[in-house]
Amino acid sequence: MPFNGLPLDVLQIVAGRYLDLVVLLVIWVVTILGVNMLKRGWTPKWRKIAGLEALEEVVGRAAEMGKPVHFTPGYGGLTGTTSPQVVAGLAVFAELAKLCARYDVPIICSVGDPTVLGVAAELYKQAYMAEGKIDRARPEEAIRYLTGSQFAFASAVAGIAEREKPAGNVMVGPFWAESMMFAEVFYRIGSIQIAGTARIYQIPFFAIVCDYVIIGDEMFATGAYLTKEPYSISSIFVQDLVKIFALALTIVGLIAIHLGSNVFIEFLKW
Partner 1 sequence: MADIITEIITEIGIWIAAFLTIAIVSVVYRDNPLFKFAEHTYVGAAAGYSFAVAIGNIRGYGIEYLYPTLKDPWYIVPLIIGVLMYFRYHRTLYWLFRYGIAIVVGTSVTAAFVRSIEADVLTQLRSTISILFTKGDAITILGNVVLVVAFITSLYYFIFTFPSLHAGSLGYIPRIGRWFMMIAFGYSFATTVVTRIDLFVGRLNFLLFEWLKLPA
Binders in 69-98 for partner 1, by CB under 8 A: 78-84, 87
Pick 105 or 146: Cβ nearer partner 1: 146
209 touches 6 (CB < 8 A): no
Q: Of 179, 215, 155, 211, whose CA–CA distance to 74 is shortest?
A: 179
* Beta carbon nearer to partner 1, 136 or 262: 262
Stretch of 66-74, 101-109, 129-137, 159-167 contacting partner 1, by CB under 8 A: 159-167
Task: Choose, by CB under 8 A, the member of 203, 210, 214, 226 that binds partner 1.
Answer: 203
Distance (Å, whole) CA 50 – CA 202: 19
Shortest distance, position 253 Cβ to partner 1, whole Å: 3
What residues between 230 and 269 interact with partner 1 by CB under 8 A?
Answer: 233, 236-237, 240, 242-244, 246-247, 249-251, 253-254, 256-258, 264-265, 268-269
Nearest distance from C-beta of residue 217 to partner 1, angstroms: 4
Cβ–Cβ under 8 Å, residues 115 and 122: no
CB of 109 to partner 1, least distance (A): 16
In sequence order, the β-bridge partners of residue 212 are 194
Residues 2-31 that bind partner 1 (CB under 8 A): 3-4, 17, 19-20, 23-24
Q: Are 175 and 204 in contact (CB under 8 A)?
A: no
What are the DSSP E strand ranges found in 124-206?
143-145, 168-172, 192-197
For helices 179-188 and 150-164, what crossing angle results, to 10°?
10
Region 129-158 residues binding partner 1, contact defined as CB under 8 A: 146-149, 151-153, 155-156, 158
Distance CA 236, CA 123 (A): 22
What lies within 8 Å, CB to CB, of 239 at 6+ separation is 220, 221
CB of 77 to partner 1, least distance (A): 8
Give min distance, CB of 238 to partner 1, in A: 9
Shortest separation between residue 207's beta carbon and partner 1, angstroms: 5
Nearer to partner 1, 59 or 198 (CB): 198
CB of 83 to partner 1, least distance (A): 4
- Start-to-end C-alpha separation, the chain: 31
How far is the CA of 216 from the CAs of 38, 83, 131, 135, in angstroms?
26, 14, 31, 37
Candidates 32, 115, 133, 134; binder of partner 1 (CB under 8 A) is: 115
Binding residue count for partner 1, defined by CB under 8 A: 76
